[in-house]
Amino acid sequence: MSSLPPARILAIESSCDETACAVLENGRALLASTVASQMDIHARYGGVFPEVASRQHVLSVIPVVQQTLAKSNLALSDMDAIAVTRGPGLAGSLVVGMNMAKGLALALGLPLIGVNHLEGHVYSAWIHPVGELIPPEPQFPLMALLVSGGHTELNLMTDHLTYKRLGSTLDDAAGEAFDKVGRLLGLPFPGGPAIQKTAENGDPTRFKFTHPKLDNPYAFSFSGLKTAVLYQVNALKKKNEELPVADLAASFQATAVDILFNKTMQAARDFKAKEILVAGGVSANKALRTAFQAQTEFKVNIPAFSLCTDNAAMIAAAGYYRYALGHVSEMDMDVQPTWALS
């Protein structure tokens, strides 16, 4: 949308276990991005420990902002607005980023923009590194698959910031299922990357796991798939057979990818979408990316690997469109740990 005003956005993301800051121009050009991950800290717990995450954000948020400004060769006075993740996420984590963003906005006299974390994932598909060839913008109507550790849903986007949720998970999110199955198979946390790596040496056709039958064709359910893997593992253990971990991982991954791919393609056809967008942490999964990129029916927008997991560049991108279209937040805005996109 070339008619939108130019703006430089500094954004902060702290919804879970990454402390991140980024500077973005005009909703697309990424000038600098920093992500301080807590993955190694939480791996010992087998998942994110909320209180530990919050304390780490407190330690990291100022250095992360300073590092990002240094990378961008810009000062805070060069910014036009401050964007921050308002939710959904862990309350204790969100409040750290929110307080930092409010402090900056108040001190600099700049607008503050609260961004939905899921909306950020959507807008990660608009971003490109500054200085590189500018790719075409995603075109509306757009069928957006949001797939992560906490969310799995299909949204029809008919314009910027305009969403119609067609279906979401009824139980486990896809990323959550990857983590739980990874744990069942004795793989390290997080389960997604571990299953992907293990599946590379496995046979995806060895075990046949069925797809759930749901009333809403655009809804998802992964608890049954996870339970099917559990039953298979228990059956093999009863026979005192060595677990074929690679084959189990490959078969689970193939089934999960098939579910995500087929439902998204069907929704895109049914709602006459021009293009498909796949975003969220699970969009980094190579099997899922390959499935979408191999088909030729729809152009597919998938962010770069570095933008699939939580980052602040995506919050800056969504923040830019909110700022440019007049959606500025009040300074008394509070975090929203539970906040649906649509």
User: Is residue 203 exposed (0-12), middle (13-18) or buried (19+ Cβ within 10 Å)?
Assistant: middle
Q: Do domains 8-127+306-324 and 142-302 have the same CATH topology?
A: yes
- Three-state SS sequence of 141-179: CEEEEEECCCCEEEEEEEECCEEEEEEEECCCCHHHHHH
How much is the CA Rg of the chain, to the nearest whole Å? 20
Chosen CATH of 8-127+306-324 out of 3.30.210.10, 3.30.420.40, 1.20.58.190, 3.40.50.150? 3.30.420.40
Give phi and psi for 13, each to the nearest 5. -130, 130
Residue 266 C-alpha from the chain's centroid: 22
Instruction: Identify residue 64 by its one-letter amino acid code.
Output: V
Using DSSP bridges, classify how beta strands 152-159 and 162-168 pair: parallel, antiparallel or unpaired: antiparallel
Task: Give dist(CA 49, CA 34) in Å, integer.
Answer: 22
For residue 37, the model assigns a pLDDT of 83
Residue 140, number of CB atoms within 10 A of its CB: 14
For residue 51, the model assigns a pLDDT of 84
Superfamily of domain 142-302: ATPase, nucleotide binding domain (3.30.420.40)
Is the CB of residue 23 less than 8 Å from the CB of residue 313? no
Query: Which residues, in sequence order, are CB contacts of 199 under 8 Å at separation 6+?
Result: 246, 249, 250, 252, 253, 254, 287
Can you say whether residue 301 is alpha, beta or left, with left for phi > 0 and alpha for psi between -120 and 50 degrees?
beta
Task: Give dist(CA 190, CA 223) in Å, integer.
Answer: 18
Going from N- to C-terminal start, the domains of the chain cover 8-127+306-324, 142-302
- What's the average pLDDT block by block, 10 residues per block, for the chain (342 residues)? 87 95 97 89 75 92 98 98 98 98 98 98 96 92 96 98 98 96 94 97 97 96 97 95 96 98 98 98 97 98 95 98 97 97 92
For residue 2, the model assigns a pLDDT of 55
Can you say whether residue 81 is alpha, beta or left, with left for phi > 0 and alpha for psi between -120 and 50 degrees?
beta
For residue 131, the model assigns a pLDDT of 84
